[in-house]
Amino acid sequence: MNSVILRELCNGCGVCAKTCSEVFMMDLQGKAIVKVTTVLQDVEKKCLEAANQCPTKAIEVYRKGKRI
Ligand code: SF4
């Protein structure tokens, strides 16, 4: 599984980084970035939770190239 941030939609709220710090962090511009190329299986649930909680739907999650 992997994740992508649609940077133009990110409002910098930080919810993703708080919910799943294994995958997301805030950069110096105050926007979220994905810090791993592959989301490890044991943090997939947290990653999906973060994506679902994003208020602007800026987080996309893919499994084997398909959006989930
Ligand atoms: S939860 Fe969404 S809007 Fe908030 S920092 Fe993360 S990507 Fe940006």
pLDDT tens digits in sequence order for the chain, 68 residues long:
999 999 999 999 999 999 999 999 999 999 999 999 999 999 999 999 999 999 999 999 999 999 99
CATH of the domain at 35: 3.30.70.20
Check if 22 has its Cβ closer than 6 Å to any atom of ligand 1: no
Q: What is the pLDDT of residue 45?
A: 98
Residue 30 structural domain: 2-67
Q: Tell me what pLDDT residue 34 has.
A: 98
pLDDT of residue 39: 98
pTM score of the predicted model: 0.96
Rg of the Cα atoms in the chain:
11
Domain count, the chain: 1
Kindly state if the Cβ of 59 falls inside 6 Å of ligand 1.
yes
Helix then strand then coil, in percent of the chain rounded to 5, is: 30, 25, 45
The per-residue pLDDT for 40 is 97
